[in-house]
Structure 1
Amino acid sequence: MDLETIPGVGEKTAGALAELDDPERALRDGDVAALARAPGITHGRAARIARGAIRREHDDPGGFLATDRAREVYREVLSLLKDRTVTRYGAQRLETIYPSPCRSRIEEVQAFTREAIEHEPTEDVLAALEGVEPLDRPSDVRVRDRCLATQDAERYSEAREALPELSVEVVEDARGLAELARGYATVVALDESFAGVDVDGDVQVRPDALENPAEVVPERPLAFFARNRTSLRAAVAVHRAADLEAPCDLGSLEDGLERLADDGTVAGDEELDRLTVAVDDLDAAASTAESVANDHLREAIREQDVTIEGADLLSLVERGAGVDSLLSRELADEYAAAVEAAREELVDSLDLDTGEAEIARRAFGDEPTFPVEREEDVVSRLREELTAAKERRAARLKRELAADLADQREGARQLVRNALELDVELAIAQFARDFECTMPEFGTETAGFAIDGGRSPLLDEPLEAIDPVDYAVSEVALLSGVNSGGKTSTLDLVASVVVLAHMGLPVPAENVRLQRFDDLHYHAKTQGTLDAGAFESTVREFADLATGGDGSLVLVDELESITEPGASAKIIAGILEALDENGATAVFVSHLAGEIREMAVFDVTIDGIEAVGLVDGELQVNRSPVKEHLARSTPELIVEKLAGESGAVFYDRLLEKFE
């Protein structure tokens, strides 16, 4: 894949993406977390790159959201979806779902959505998802007790790239291998020519080492699984709670993770634990053994009556004999018992095996001395034996566990991806349930949109408190109605439904049929009259739309506020004429609907959100626009109410002015 062909990806960004393990897979799956691991790529940038890759795949020109208010609606409905995710990845992944005019893209997401809404967001699954995070690739693994050796410069470069965790050395002959063996615990020779060479130390001839990295550097897979153990365990729990088909053996994976310590070493092996404790406690155990022997001797001396005749004492002094000789002569049995106690203490406290115990017993000699002291050279030898045994066992266990886990690495990756994708699906499913959504129908013969039982998700009200709205427009229409009657909310509902439908997602309604629009132009209500420059800019924008908006949906909220009412009616009438000629679909909310209709050269449709009356000063409104109906204004309703209550001629005369 030529990464620079993705919209918004230049040479520098393409180079950063190329450093990922599998950038094509990440782009294909919209894996924002993986893309964000590329150097210098933020999560927001990663989402834009993923959208760019999707646009390229579907030949999507972009620009569906043509105005600020249209983009605001998209961000608001996207936020509602993201609020229902558990993982950060889920929220990032939803950023790659955007409104598109392309049938292939819409249908692709619709297929995903139809499967998603079948899921049940249970508490067990959501709780398990809290521990799932994208997998991290450890980059800090360094192994210093092993090295690779080769005679070939090309092989040297290949080895450095394939196994960066190890040092790679160039040697000329067997002498060079021998020198390396004196500095490293293990030397792995990559050249077949070294086969049969006899040198001191652990030198392994492995021409296939680069093809089997887990055998040479078991720390690599172990570090990966240790670093990601929490997420992997959570992903296992998600698969079990959601009854998902697993891409690997969950029991084997859990067993492998159980055998792995946080630092990437092997855990749970009793023999390795014994050797580790023995090495760590050797000095303290030897000191304790000394104390046992000396305490034994002191007690024996206190209880022993030693009588030395003068001739014997003189003989001892003349020979320069000291306490040792006296001990040998008078307390030989007690000394032997003290030394035996020290030996048993050392062997028992370190839980040494037979061979190790044989060395340990020599740490305390048979020659009497006081105080009793250990033989440091023997203790050092014991330490070397224990350390070597520990390292041999740890290395073997690492290789075995690495071999078990390395085979499950791709399955483990897919396991986590499945769990993270499930979070996205559950968010969509929860959104669909919370707003009682349905999948919209795009019809090739459908013009405009038809919404049955729609409830705007942008209203800050409980769903049950929102009156359902039925509304359909197939051409150009004016929407009239009383203040606070729900005109803007109706536009928001239409915009939300159209945006969600073109994202390929469910829409908040009982039933929706619509055409595939090329773009959405939603112009929010202007606050106050515009100055001359802003007015000119607004008119230019509508001029561009009027000349090329045949596949557009245009939603406009009270455009008359941009200038004086008389001029506004004329301008809106002209815009509607152009949009009608182009075959665009448009809804213009206006309090000047009657005046605009009179000025338009075609029979413009007027729909009305009808207030059915006043109850205790509160408007009672039919929220669904009535087709071909100019809604009465709030002042008319008030005058009508007063006329009915008082019967005064004044109110009747005022009421006649509204006819």
Structure 2
Amino acid sequence: MRLRGDARDIYRAIRRRIEGEIKVERAKEFLKNIEPTSDKGEILRRQEYFKRAFSSVDEKLEEVIMKVRPIRFRREFLTDRVLIVSEEEVEEAEKLGLCLVSTEPVEGYDLVLSTIGYGIDVELKPHDIAPELYVKPLWENRDVLKALATLFPGGVSGKILESLAELEDVFKRLEAIEKLEERIREEEARLNRRIEERLEKFKLTLSGRELVEFIKSLKSGDIDLILSKFSTLNDEILEEIRKSEERISKEIGVDLEIFPREYPVEVPPEVIERLRETIEREVKLELYLKSREVLAEILPYLPRLKEEIEKAYELEFIIALKRFSKNFTFPRIEEGGIGFVEGRNIFIDNPQPISYFVGRAKGPFKGVKETNVVILTGANSGGKTSLLELMLQIVILAHMGLPVPAREAWVEVLDEVFFFKRKRTNYTAGAFETSLKSMVKSLKGKGRKLLLIDEFEVITEPGAAVKILAELLRIGLSKGFYIVVVSHLGEDLMKELPEARVDGIEAKGLDESLNLIVDRQPKFGVVGKSTPELILERLARKGRGEEREILMKVLRRLK
């Protein structure tokens, strides 16, 4: 369905309302799939889909969905490995762009992969040469996989998580290696504190002469006792060092002897770096080998994993649409015009429900004059423009296959919708010419069209406007177009075009705050009086002095 004139603005405003309900940015992309269409079959298909989806969706799952994000598999140049290939395989290997390529053995790399019997044998496939590029992103996004497993029990996410569990130990070791220096410094500080505490408890302060005299006075066996005290202290310090090394060894997964057996305990940075490089090389090899095994298990699941992520976003889209369309109803898609019962303008807070139609009289409108051209008249600020917007909202949402803000509604499938909204500007001859050209363009050709026109007459003289507008409406009527036009020229247009129906919105008076009391529900077949006398009365009652006297004279004359 093509939206013309200001109809596009209403459609964009509806989209913004829906987008405001969507809490996951990627889910907004699904709006592209439900743009207004003139394909009746597609509209009905969408309606059935959304009916089923709304009835089965659990809105409580939205918090889980918000944890889902795309899992991106990085393509990067890995400099920690070299691939040894035969001469004829070099070009094919270079296309992979994942690691250095050579035809000769190369030392100095953590991993030496080969297709010709040197190092670890691999095939010329990215997932064999660099399986970590697939496995690491999955490991880093385990929270995403857990969320997907909750949303889709029995899906591929749960199976991938089971396979990744085989890598838990090696990844924990890699994390520990990254923090190796930090952990060594922590244990180093702790050791020095413990040694200081023990030394403080063991004090022996003697001069050389005092020591000689002291030794002479000792009985047999006393010297052995003192030396044993020093030995005990040394054993306790060594035990503390061994415990620190055991803790770090357990985290790394390799038995280590790190700390010097002297006080103060201090490990040089270069020693830590050499240690880290040695251990990391071993763990990287283990990660590579295990990653190949795990990837062989999960590789078939990856296409379906992408589908699960998209399904999660679609689920969020459904939840947002359900929230947006609370208390809406799916319209009947049938010929005979556009109508709705207790429709509510979604751009107005707490709107008065309105029932209205153009075309065939159905349901509660039985007995009302049937016509494809309706002239809506009545009070200023009575809600005439809002009614046009409401009808357009219902038409657009219906053509998107969505529920509409009404208790009941029926919509004929249309090819084009035109909305000519009254502009808040000074009208000139140029404005009249532009508006007239737009109106004529909307009446060209054939097809199923809806034209919504807001006060065409304000851009030219009232006398001319009646004749011009009446003839334009007559042309549209002859072509079977549906037209709703807001106008203050209802009585004159009735004389020019008796086939049309004139409806009216009337003001009943002023409330205690001097605001207009308006029943925004149009009365069918009744010309709605404008409200100049009520406006004058309000201004007069608010006015003072001579201003009030002038307004009262004008009001008496009008009455």
TM-score by structure 2 length? 0.75
> Hey, what's the Cα distance between the residues in 2 that align with 1:618 and 1:581?
42
Asked if structure 2 preserves the Cα contact closer than 8 Å seen for 1:481 and 1:631, the reply is yes
Q: In the alignment, does 2:338 pair up with 1:449?
A: yes
Q: In the alignment, does 2:28 pair up with 1:91?
A: yes
Q: State the Cα distance separating 1:99 from its structure 2 match.
A: 1.5
Asked if structure 2 preserves the Cα contact closer than 8 Å seen for 1:547 and 1:582, the reply is no
Q: State the Cα distance separating 1:187 from its structure 2 match.
A: 1.7
- 1:507 equivalent in structure 2: 404
Q: Deviations over 1:139-185 (max 9, x none)?
A: 364432212222245x33433444x3x323141xxxx12xx1x1223
Q: In the alignment, does 2:308 pair up with 1:415?
A: yes
Q: State the Cα distance separating 1:618 from its structure 2 match.
A: 5.5
Q: In the alignment, does 2:132 pair up with 1:219?
A: yes
Task: Map residues 112-151 of structure 1 onto 2, 5 A cutoff.
Answer: 112-119=49-56, 122=59, 124-133=60-69, 135-139=70-74, 141-151=76-86
Q: SS of the counterpart of 1:553?
A: strand
- 2:384 equivalent in structure 1: 487
- The aligned amino acid for 1:144 is T
Q: State the Cα distance separating 1:497 from its structure 2 match.
A: 0.5
- The aligned amino acid for 1:218 is P
Asked if structure 2 preserves the Cα contact closer than 8 Å seen for 1:149 and 1:189, the reply is yes
Q: State the Cα distance separating 1:65 from its structure 2 match.
A: 0.9
Asked if structure 2 preserves the Cα contact closer than 8 Å seen for 1:442 and 1:513, the reply is yes
Using a 3 Å threshold, how does the CA distance of structure 1 residues 372 and 161 change in structure 2: closer, same or farther?
A: closer
Q: State the Cα distance separating 1:488 from its structure 2 match.
A: 1.2
- 1:210 equivalent in structure 2: 125
> Hey, what's the Cα distance between the residues in 2 that align with 1:518 and 1:93?
23
Structure 1 gap ranges (5+): 1-61, 198-202, 308-330, 640-650
Asked if structure 1 preserves the Cα contact closer than 8 Å seen for 2:358 and 2:374, the reply is no
Q: Deviations over 1:474-513 (max 9, x none)?
A: 5122112222222111111111111111111111112211
Asked if structure 1 preserves the Cα contact closer than 8 Å seen for 2:352 and 2:520, the reply is no
Structure 2 gap ranges (5+): 213-225, 361-371, 537-554
Asked if structure 2 preserves the Cα contact closer than 8 Å seen for 1:479 and 1:587, the reply is yes
Task: Map residues 602-621 of structure 1 onto 2, 5 A cutoff.
Answer: 603-611=498-506, 613-614=508-509, 616=511, 619-621=516-518
> Hey, what's the Cα distance between the residues in 1 that align with 2:285 and 2:378?
85
- 2:171 equivalent in structure 1: 266
Using a 3 Å threshold, how does the CA distance of structure 1 residues 344 and 632 change in structure 2: closer, same or farther?
A: closer
Q: SS of the counterpart of 1:89?
A: helix
Q: SS of the counterpart of 2:478?
A: helix
Q: SS of the counterpart of 1:116?
A: helix
> Hey, what's the Cα distance between the residues in 2 that align with 1:581 and 1:161?
68
Using a 3 Å threshold, how does the CA distance of structure 1 residues 411 and 260 change in structure 2: closer, same or farther?
A: farther
> Hey, what's the Cα distance between the residues in 2 that align with 1:217 and 1:189?
13
Asked if structure 2 preserves the Cα contact closer than 8 Å seen for 1:253 and 1:405, the reply is no
- The aligned amino acid for 2:339 is A
- The aligned amino acid for 1:145 is D
Asked if structure 2 preserves the Cα contact closer than 8 Å seen for 1:438 and 1:510, the reply is yes
- Superposed CA RMSD: 4.7
> Hey, what's the Cα distance between the residues in 1 that align with 2:73 and 2:62?
28
Q: In the alignment, does 2:380 pair up with 1:472?
A: no
> Hey, what's the Cα distance between the residues in 1 that align with 2:267 and 2:395?
86
Q: State the Cα distance separating 1:361 from its structure 2 match.
A: 11
Q: State the Cα distance separating 1:376 from its structure 2 match.
A: 13
- 1:65 equivalent in structure 2: 3
Q: In the alignment, does 2:432 pair up with 1:432?
A: no
- 1:188 equivalent in structure 2: 113
Q: In the alignment, does 2:161 pair up with 1:253?
A: yes
Asked if structure 1 preserves the Cα contact closer than 8 Å seen for 2:79 and 2:100, the reply is no
Using a 3 Å threshold, how does the CA distance of structure 1 residues 247 and 373 change in structure 2: closer, same or farther?
A: closer
Q: Deviations over 1:258-314 (max 9, x none)?
A: 9669xxx713x6xx778887787679979969x979x89x9999899999xxxxxxx
- The aligned amino acid for 2:92 is E
Using a 3 Å threshold, how does the CA distance of structure 1 residues 281 and 542 change in structure 2: closer, same or farther?
A: closer
Asked if structure 1 preserves the Cα contact closer than 8 Å seen for 2:346 and 2:390, the reply is yes
Asked if structure 1 preserves the Cα contact closer than 8 Å seen for 2:73 and 2:137, the reply is yes
> Hey, what's the Cα distance between the residues in 2 that align with 1:376 and 1:78?
60
- Name the % identity: 24
Aligned pair partner of 1:565 in 455, 462, 467: 462
Task: Map residues 2-17 of structure 1 onto 2, 5 A cutoff.
Answer: none
Q: State the Cα distance separating 1:349 from its structure 2 match.
A: 2.4
Give the length in aligned residue pairs: 506
Structure 1 stretch displaced more, 382-391 or 95-104: 382-391
> Hey, what's the Cα distance between the residues in 2 that align with 1:411 and 1:347?
50
Using a 3 Å threshold, how does the CA distance of structure 1 residues 496 and 336 change in structure 2: closer, same or farther?
A: same
Q: Per chain length, whose mean CA-contact separation is higher, i.e. which structure has more relative contact order (CA < 8 Å, sep 6+)?
A: 2
- The aligned amino acid for 1:158 is E
Q: In the alignment, does 2:90 pair up with 1:156?
A: yes
Q: State the Cα distance separating 1:408 from its structure 2 match.
A: 4.4
Using a 3 Å threshold, how does the CA distance of structure 1 residues 370 and 489 change in structure 2: closer, same or farther?
A: closer
Using a 3 Å threshold, how does the CA distance of structure 1 residues 301 and 483 change in structure 2: closer, same or farther?
A: closer
Structure 1 stretch displaced more, 559-568 or 227-236: 227-236
> Hey, what's the Cα distance between the residues in 2 that align with 1:144 and 1:402?
21
- The aligned amino acid for 2:171 is V
Q: State the Cα distance separating 1:89 from its structure 2 match.
A: 1.6
